[in-house]
Amino acid sequence: MLYHFLHSLPVPVITHNIGSVESIGIVVFLAGERRFACPHSRFLIHPLHWTFGTPAADHQRLVEWGKSLDFDAQRYAQIVNEATQGSDEPLNIGAHLEHDALIVGPAAAVKAGLVHDISLAKLPPDGVNWWVGASQA
């Protein structure tokens, strides 16, 4: 899982929502040791779903997929709850993974503990820029 990989890196990981962080991307975002959101950004939490790549499935596969979705929702909720522990207004994440989607703006994200602060994204001069192409070296 990318969340655990980012936690294993021997450098501080800072994540910044510069527009929208959605779905399972929220779990990846929460791997940041420090987390920020731009003033007009948002977070979208919605029920998990499965894309069926096969034209037919037997009863056992459907049961298996249902169990997988339930397990993944529990993992998702556990990571969110751990990362936002001690927040002013904790999210009822389980309800939004099973029923109604939730859109969270930057101010609410601070209160919920999804982010530490609202700020514009800026790369420090000595920071690592992973989106510079090799041709620019």
Give residue-wise pLDDT tens across range 3-44. Answer: 899 989 998 899 999 999 999 999 999 999 999 999 999 999
pTM greater than 0.85: no
* CATH number among 3.30.420.240, 3.90.226.10, 3.40.50.2300, 3.40.640.10, domain 2-123: 3.90.226.10
133 Cβ contact partners less than 8 Å away, ≥ 6 residues apart: none
Summarised one tens digit per residue, pLDDT across range 91-110 is: 989 889 888 999 999 999 99
pLDDT above 70 for 58: yes
Domain residue limits, the chain: 2-123
Strand partners, 36: 16, 117
In angstroms, what CA-CA distances link 5 with 8, 20, 108, 135?
5, 22, 28, 27
Q: What pairs with residue 20 in β-bridges? A: 42
Say which amino acid occupies 116: H
